[in-house]
Structure 1
Amino acid sequence: MDLVALADFNLVARHGGFGKAARATGRPKATLSRRVTELEATLALRLFERGSRNLKLTEEGRALHERTAALLTELDETAATIASGAEKPRGRLRISAPLLLSQTAMGKIAAGFALKYPDVRLEITTEDRPVDMIEEGYDLVIRVNPDPDESLVGRAFLHDRLVVVASPDLSRPAGDLPVPGVVRGAGNRQIWSVTTSQGCSTIKVEPILALSSLIMVRDAVRAGVGVARLPISLVSHDLADGTLKHWGDVEESEIELWALYPSRRLLSARVSAFLDFLKHAFPNGTPDELAAYIGK
């Protein structure tokens, strides 16, 4: 495949027409049109629907654009890096991060990274769903306990665990009596297994509040509404100053945060820089390090 023709196709696709692409880049419109026509002939595919007034990508053209635009950008950046003789991170870096980490720590992380690498245009979006990195154009995703995926590689950079906490004013009931609870998402009566220094036990929980954010859950528990299961990093300051009381650790609740990127892509300088920045921010990957980032 002719990489020059592929680059010209992506140029036209990005600007939405031959004329717009020509005006934006100073390239002759006829040259761009010829390159795209040659690419269509090579692939035996129609990449654009050509109307009298507008140009629209076909389904095949859209798929080709989505899958090759980022790769061509990486090739350009790699060539520029080699030519300059320095591995200086530059260009756009798109990251998808989970809601709780975004709300508690990603603002500080992003600011620190931007100050250290001013030539990188960092974009972070909040997504709890498993995004499609290739289709949606992400360079890096942060996921909680991700399922194995052969198309992604990366590293775990943070570890956390769930604990059951409540206001000091709320006493744990004797016997099998249920206790009011605050949960994330909808839920019926639940039984939570916990471990303490005295051993294992169970807590019957009657959810009276169902909230969509763990920050909301924590704030409700601080107000004395009921018990909740929350990451230790999110409540360690409350436990230390007595705002909340520890009722036990949730069994088998280890949490790992992974930074992942596509295995078939070259690891760009900007992705490497962000991975190194995470390692510097959380050298041991412990809940205490994340709690220090979160603050009160």
Structure 2
Amino acid sequence: MDRIVAAEVFVAIVERGSMIAAAEALDMSRAMVTRYLAQMEHWAGARLLHRTTRKLGLTDAGSETLARCRQMLDIAAAMPAPGTADTGSPQGLLRIACSQSLAQAALAPAVAGYLRRYPRMAIDLQIDNRAVNLVEERIDLALRITNALDPNLIARQLGTCASVLCASPAYLAAHGTPRRVEDLALHDCLTYSYFGKSLWQFTRAGETVSVPVSGRLSANESVVLLAAVLEGAGVALQPRYSAAPLLASGRLVALLPDSLPQPMGIHGIYTSRQYQPAGLRALLDYLVDWFAGDSRWLELTQ
């Protein structure tokens, strides 16, 4: 963990009187403040704060650590920010976590453009569909597609992911074509296992319609479900960016054009708004512009 940020967090806790107030002042999640304090106590090898239901108080070790933290922050404040001392162009390494499907369709081409614009930056992509712990795994940015983002997370919406309901011609020939969203209850629906119980939401005639669905196959990666729907395993709700080429070729058929699946937000998740490397700030701005205007992405989502 970053010792400078940890020192800033510890000073904020002491000056503000609580971890909740420190989190608000630093625009950081409460869980992250707790982790930084635990790490400070690990480094010090002692408890730094007396915790009661009413207030926090410094231990002897905490008083000594507070003085050292303030000294460290004074020294850090006198130094130029990383990546700005020479030409003002960001430099350094960013570690990004992303799912396989979004990485292939969007992140890889977007990152290539970013690296051309900022030649002193480097990026390490971590392709995984699970929710990562940014601090423990040293991830600078995690991309996630969801409409149910944890309010305690620090995030910025980068774009929108449109979805499409689809099936293979072979499946439809064998099982019939659903005419209304309510008909999905009669079909094998391929579900995304991270969602728990599957409730697919659509907009029909200006109103939101929620439909519980079930099926015999679920997976935690949309790429796997896409391969299964191509083999006739059932009906799937897929990101349009993944299904678009298969719809154009006729290998998949879009269903229920009068009932549009609810779009989902593409979010960038990071540890703090206030303490961002210049390269991360530049990447967030670049991704917002890329999702809004790159012709390749727009062709896959319209």
TM value normalised by structure 1 = 0.59
Contact residue 98 and residue 142 of structure 2 kept, 8 A: yes
1:272 to 272, 281, 293: 281
Offset of 1:165 from its aligned partner? 0.8
Match of 1:218 in 2: 226
Alignment of 1:200-219 (within 5 A): 207-219=215-227
CA RMSD, Structure 1 to Structure 2 (Å): 4.6
CA distance in 1, matches of 2:267, 2:131: 12
Q: Paired residue for 1:98?
A: 99
1:290 aligns with 2:300: no
2:20 — aligned with what?
none
Query: How many angstroms apart in 1 are the aligned matches of 2:201 and 2:89?
Result: 50
List per-residue Cα deviations over 1:239-273 (Å, max 9, x = no partner).
33433222237777331011233336433221122
Q: What secondary structure, in the 3-state scheme, does the structure 2 residue paired with 1:280 have?
A: helix
Secondary structure (helix, strand or coil) at the match of 1:283 reads helix
Structure 2 CA distance, aligned partners of 1:43 and 1:173? Answer: 63
- 1:235 offset after TM fit, Å? 1.5
What is residue 256 of structure 1 aligned with on the other side? 265
Q: Give 5+ residue unaligned stretches, structure 2.
A: 8-40, 48-64
Which residue is equivalent to 2:253?
Answer: 245
Q: 1:114 to 1:205 in 2, by over 3 A?
A: same
Deviations 1:173-209 (A, max 9, x none): 6896822333333999978565567998887866243
C-alpha spacing 1:232/1:76, structure 2 compared with 1 (3 Å): farther
Count of residues in correspondence between the two structures? 231
1:225 to 1:75, Cα distance in 2 relative to 1, 3 A:
farther
Q: Conserved in 1, the CA contact under 8 Å of 2:242 and 2:300?
A: no
Q: Are the counterparts in 2 of residues 98 and 144 from structure 1 also a CA contact under 8 Å?
A: no
**Equivalent residue number for residue 53 of structure 1:** none
- The answer to whether the Cα contact below 8 Å between 2:203 and 2:262 also exists between their aligned partners in 1 is no
| Alpha-carbon offset, residue 115 of structure 1 | 3.0
Identity of paired residues, percent? 25
Does residue 172 (structure 1) correspond to residue 177 (structure 2)? The answer is yes
1:75-132 C-alpha deviation (Å, 9 max, x unpaired): 7984455543x32111111222234312433222233323332321211212433333
1:281 aligns with 2:290: yes
TM (norm. structure 2) is 0.58
CA contact (8 A) 1:236 1:291 kept: no
Q: Are residues 128 and 217 of structure 1, via their aligned partners in 2, closer, same or farther at CA, if it must alter by over 3 Å?
A: closer
Change over 3 Å in CA distance of 1:188–1:107 after alignment to 2:
closer
Conserved in 2, the CA contact under 8 Å of 1:99 and 1:127? yes
Contact 2:162 2:264 in 1 (8 A): yes
Larger-gyration structure (1/2): 1
User: How has the CA–CA distance of structure 1 residues 179 and 98 changed in structure 2, closer, same or farther, with 3 Å as cutoff?
Assistant: same
Aligned-pair CA distance for 1:166: 1.0
Q: Distance in 1 between matches of 2:207 and 2:44?
A: 66
- The amino acid that maps onto 1:246 is A
Letter in 1 for 2:272: S
Aligned partner (choices 142, 146, 150) of residue 147 of structure 1:
150
